[in-house]
Amino acid sequence: MDDKPETELVESARSGDKAAFGNLVDRYQGVVQRVAAGMVGDRDLARDLAQEAMLQAYLSLDRLRDADRFGSWLYGIVLNVCRSHLRDQKASFLSLEAMFGGLSYAALPFAGPEPGPDEVAEAGELHRAVLESVNSLSPKTRAATLLFYYEQLSHREIAALLNVSIVAVKGRLHKARFQLRDRLRAVFEEADARPVKSIGGKAMVKVTIADVVASEQKNEDTGRSRTMYVVMLLDEEGRRVLSIWVGAAEGPAIAMGLRDFQAPRPLTHKFMVDLLQALGADMVEARVESLKEDTFYGIVKLRRAGTEREVDSRPSDALALAVYTGSPIYVAEEVLEKAGITIPEGQTANEPTGKGLDDIVRDFEESSQRSMERWRKESEEREKSPAKQRERDERLVALLYEGTE
């Protein structure tokens, strides 16, 4: 039974073979529990939710159309079970028991005056306009858009549910933003609903990384050149772009994250994300908060065990972490007004090509191949000449203790 293909096990389970489904449970139990634990932060609770998800999967097997997609289908059930539990936990906050515990309704963070009839009508009209525009997208683009903006799933979760790569998900969302921008521009201009949010009284604009471009910079004093990178942040309206210089490590890291390039070993920012996950922390958002004397200042917002903290950061590191975690990126409106570039009307309908990203990833791949070939060649030479290797080691040790006698 263990050696049977997954599709065969699914078909057998559909026919009532409980042993076949038990084998599927054995294959996915560990993954399902890790996914649940990542969402609820409690291993014991995650085990219970994983069992509930497996039970739902067993009872719903007849709804699975494609046996090849059992894994992603099961992943979606786990997410729904965990989200349902989290929603129930949030709902209990407004229960009578919780409210009689001493917290007045006026003290609730979201308590406020009820909206008037005009506000309700305006919101309903805007809601209908948005839904009509979303429904006009192609089926693939519409599915990714609803999962990201309505269900609040991450890029990785959407990729699993739709059985596509993370790059494909980002591409569909990118296309959706540009198509919806043109269709909803008149509506949002009339409603004066600019895509901003307020953080600490400061207006923030959501942006995406449109491209990363490599540029050779020459030092006039030394005559030496080095490669620097420019990250292009595009606002959701597609009308302004903010360029930020980043270093030789951060530029390629951002590019490879956006293109889902898998390095042989974890690079620095991927390693940082793995550390955060190991500690049970999630990245909430990255922000470019201010611009002082030509230097941008960033913030990384983290959440762990229900507690949020903000950490001062270079924008380059914040952007790289946002890419690898799929977290949203915001720029202060005042920063965009001060340093942003307004895109000419004739170009706002065009989508960025991402050519800079492709060039960086291609150069990195070629450079990596050359380095590996050089390393293999040097390794072969060392094996052929042990004496030469010993001489090299002795020189290295001499440098370590140079000047200590």
Instruction: For the chain, 405 residues long, give each residue's pLDDT as a single digit of tens.
Output: 456 788 888 888 888 888 888 888 888 888 788 777 766 777 788 888 888 888 888 888 888 877 777 877 787 788 788 877 776 664 444 443 333 333 322 333 433 344 445 444 545 555 566 667 777 788 788 778 777 766 566 787 777 767 788 888 888 888 887 777 766 665 555 544 445 666 666 788 999 999 998 887 777 777 777 788 889 999 888 888 999 988 888 888 898 888 887 776 777 888 888 888 888 999 999 999 988 878 889 999 999 988 889 999 889 999 999 999 999 999 999 888 888 888 887 665 567 778 888 888 888 778 777 877 887 787 777 777 777 777 877 887 887 777 555
SS (H, E, C) 178-211: HHHHHHHHHHHHHHCCCCEEEECCEEEEEEEEEE
Q: Which candidate, 83, 81, 71, places its Cα nearest to that of 163?
A: 71
Beta-bridge mates of residue 366: none
The predicted structure's pLDDT at residue 96: 37
For residue 154, give the DSSP letter. -
Instruction: Give the type of residue at 233.
Output: L
182-220 b/e (C-beta count within 10 Å ≥ 16 → b): ebbeebbeeeeeeebeebeebebbbbbbbbbbbeeeeee
The predicted structure's pLDDT at residue 301: 93
- The whole-angstrom distance between residue 53's C-alpha and the CA centroid of its chain comes to 25
Q: Is 61:77 a contact under the CB 8 Å cutoff?
A: no
4 sits in the region (left: phi over 0; alpha: psi -120 to 50; else beta) called beta
Instruction: Give the type of residue at 145.
Output: T
Grouping H, G, I as helix, E, B as strand and the rest as coil, residue 227 is strand
Q: Which candidate, 225, 215, 258, 222, places its Cα nearest to that of 352?
A: 258
Find all residues with CB under 8 Å of 257, minimum gap 6, and list them: 269, 270, 320, 323, 324
Rg (CA), the chain: 26
Q: Which residue has the tokens 């509506």?
A: 187
The predicted structure's pLDDT at residue 195: 54
Q: Is 234:352 a contact under the CB 8 Å cutoff?
A: yes
The predicted structure's pLDDT at residue 329: 93
Q: Residue 21 has which token pair?
A: 């489904």
Cα three-residue angle 112-117-123, rounded to 5 degrees:
80
SS3 content of the chain, % helix, strand, coil (to 5): 60, 20, 25
Find all residues with CB under 8 Å of 113, minimum gap 6, and list them: none
